[in-house]
Amino acid sequence: MMRSARQTLIRTFTALTVGAWMTTASAQAMDISPAITVGTQEFGLTAGYLFSHRLTDLHTTKQHGPALMPSWMMTITDPIGDSWYRGQVSLGAEMVYLEFREPLLTHGVGFTPRIKYMFVALGRLRPYAEFAGGPFWTDLGGRIEEQANQFNFVLTGGVGVSWFFTSQASFNIGYRFHHISNAGTAFPNLGLNASLPFGGFSFFF
Amino acid sequence: MMMYIFRWSVLSLAGFVMWVTTGCTRWIDVKPPSASSQEALTYSLPGNERVPLVIDTFHTTKNGAPQHPSPEAERRILNSVQVTSLFSTLIPLGRKSDVLGKKIVSARITVDEAIEPHSGLSALKGMLIGGSMFLLSPFIKLEYDYAARVGLELERWDGYIKRYESRSSGTVHYKLFGATPVMIDELKRHVTEACLADLTGQLVRDAKFYMGSSASVPATGIRTVTVRANRPPTTSLSLSIVPIASASPQ
Q: Is the pLDDT reported for residue A72 higher than 90?
A: yes
Contacts of B181 in chain A (CB under 8 A): 37-40
* Distance, CA of B23 to chain centre: 32
Check pLDDT > 80 for residue A39: yes
Cβ–Cβ below 8 Å for B133 and A134: yes
Whole-number Å distance between alpha carbons of A130 and A83: 20
Contact A202, A62 (CB under 8 A): no
pLDDT tens digits for B33-56? 765 555 555 666 777 788 889 998
How many Å from the N-terminal Cα to the C-terminal Cα in chain A? 35
User: How many Å apart are CA B144 and CA B114, to the nearest integer?
Assistant: 11
Which overall architecture, per CATH, does domain A41-204 show?
Answer: Beta Barrel (2.40)
DSSP characters over A111-178: EEEEEEEEE-TTTTEEEEEEEEEEEEEETTTTSSSSB--SEEEEEEEEEEEEEEEETTEEEEEEEEEE
Instruction: Please choose, from the candidates B44, B39, B41, B71, the residue with its C-alpha nearest in 3D space to the C-alpha of residue B58.
Output: B71
Cβ B119–A115 below 8 Å, yes or no?
A: no
- Compute the C-alpha angle A14/A20/A26, nearest 5°: 145
User: What torsion, rounded to 10 degrees, do the Cα atoms B194, B196, B201, B206 define?
Assistant: 160
> Would you say the C-alpha torsion A45, A171, A168, A37 has a positive or negative sign?
positive
User: Which residue from B122, B134, B182 is facing A77, i.e. has the nearest CB?
Assistant: B122
Least confident span in A50-59, A62-71, A193-202, B165-174: A50-59
> Is B74 a domain residue?
yes
Residue B224 banded pLDDT, cuts 50, 70, 90:
very low
- Interface residue A38 vs chain B (CB under 8 A): yes
Q: Residue A61: which residues within 8 A CB-CB, separation 6 or more? A: A52, A54, A102, A103, A144, A145, A146, A192
pLDDT attached to residue B245: 36
> Which H/E stretch holds residue B188?
helix B181-205
- Residue by residue, what is the 3-state secondary structure of B189-221? HHHHHHHHHHHHHHHHHCHHHHCHHHCCCCHHH
- What H or E segment, with its residue span, contains residue B162? strand B161-174
Domain that holds residue B167: 24-215
Query: What does the pLDDT read at residue A87?
Result: 94
Computed over every residue of chain A, the mean pLDDT equals 86
Going by C-beta distance under 8 Å and a sequence separation of 6 or more, which residues neighbour residue B157?
Answer: B51, B102, B103, B104, B105, B215, B217, B218
We report the CATH number of the domain holding residue B84 as 3.30.160.150
Decide: helix, strand or coil at residue B42: coil
Q: Given an 8 Å threshold on Cβ–Cβ distance, is B122 in contact with A115?
A: no
| Residues ≥6 apart with Cβ < 8 Å to A2 | A99, A105
What does A106-130 look like in DSSP terms, one character per residue?
Answer: EEEEEEEEEEEEEE-TTTTEEEEEE
Residue B112 lies in a domain: yes
B115: nearest CA partner in chain A: A78
A95 has pLDDT over 70: yes
> Which candidate in A72, A77, A112, A114 is best for mutational testing of the B interface (most B CBs within 10 A)?
A77
Pair A197, A49: CB distance under 8 Å: yes
- Domains held by chain B: number: 1
Among A38, A41, A89, the residue with its CB nearest the CB of B144 is A38
The helix/strand count (H/E) of chain A reads as 1, 8
Contact status, residue A97 vs residue B131, Cβ threshold 8 Å: no
Q: Which of A32-36, A114-118, A164-168 bottoms out in mean pLDDT, i.e. has the lowest?
A: A32-36
Smallest CA–CA distance from B178 into chain A, residue: A39
What percent of chain B is predicted at pLDDT more than 70? 80
pLDDT digits (tens, 9 = 90+) for B63-90: 989 988 888 888 898 899 888 888 888 8
The residues, any chain, with a CB within 8 Å of residue B109's CB and separated by 6 or more, are B55, B57, B58, B59, B74, B77, B150, B151, B152, B153
Is A167 touching B (CB cutoff 8 A)? no
Judged by CB atoms closer than 8 Å, whether chains meet at A38 and B117 is answered as: yes
Residue B130, classed as helix, strand or coil, is helix
Q: Which residue has the higher pLDDT, B94 or A24?
A: B94
Check if the interface score ipTM surpasses 0.90: no
Could you tell me if residue B9 is inside a domain?
no
Nearest to A38 among B129, B134, B181 (CB): B181
Mean pLDDT lowest for which of A24-38, A149-163, B113-127?
A: A24-38
Residue B89: inside a domain: yes
Q: Is there a domain that residue B249 lies in? A: no
| pLDDT at residue number B237 | 37
A9 falls in which pLDDT band (50, 70, 90)?
low
Percent of chain B with pLDDT over 90: 34
Categorise residue B63: left if φ over 0, alpha if ψ from -120 to 50, beta otherwise. Answer: left
Q: What does the pLDDT average to over A139-154?
A: 88
CB contact (8 A) between residue B142 and residue A76: yes
Distance CA B229, CA A84 (A): 58
B181 and A39: CB-CB below 8 Å? Answer: yes
User: Is the CB of residue A115 less than 8 Å from the CB of residue A142?
Assistant: no
pLDDT band (50, 70, 90) for residue B243: very low
Tell if the pTM clears 0.80, that is, is over it.
no
Could you state, in order of their start, the residue ranges of all structural domains in chain A?
Answer: 41-204
Quote the CA–CA distance of A139 and A125 in Å, as a whole number.
39
Contact: A89, B126; criterion CB under 8 Å: yes
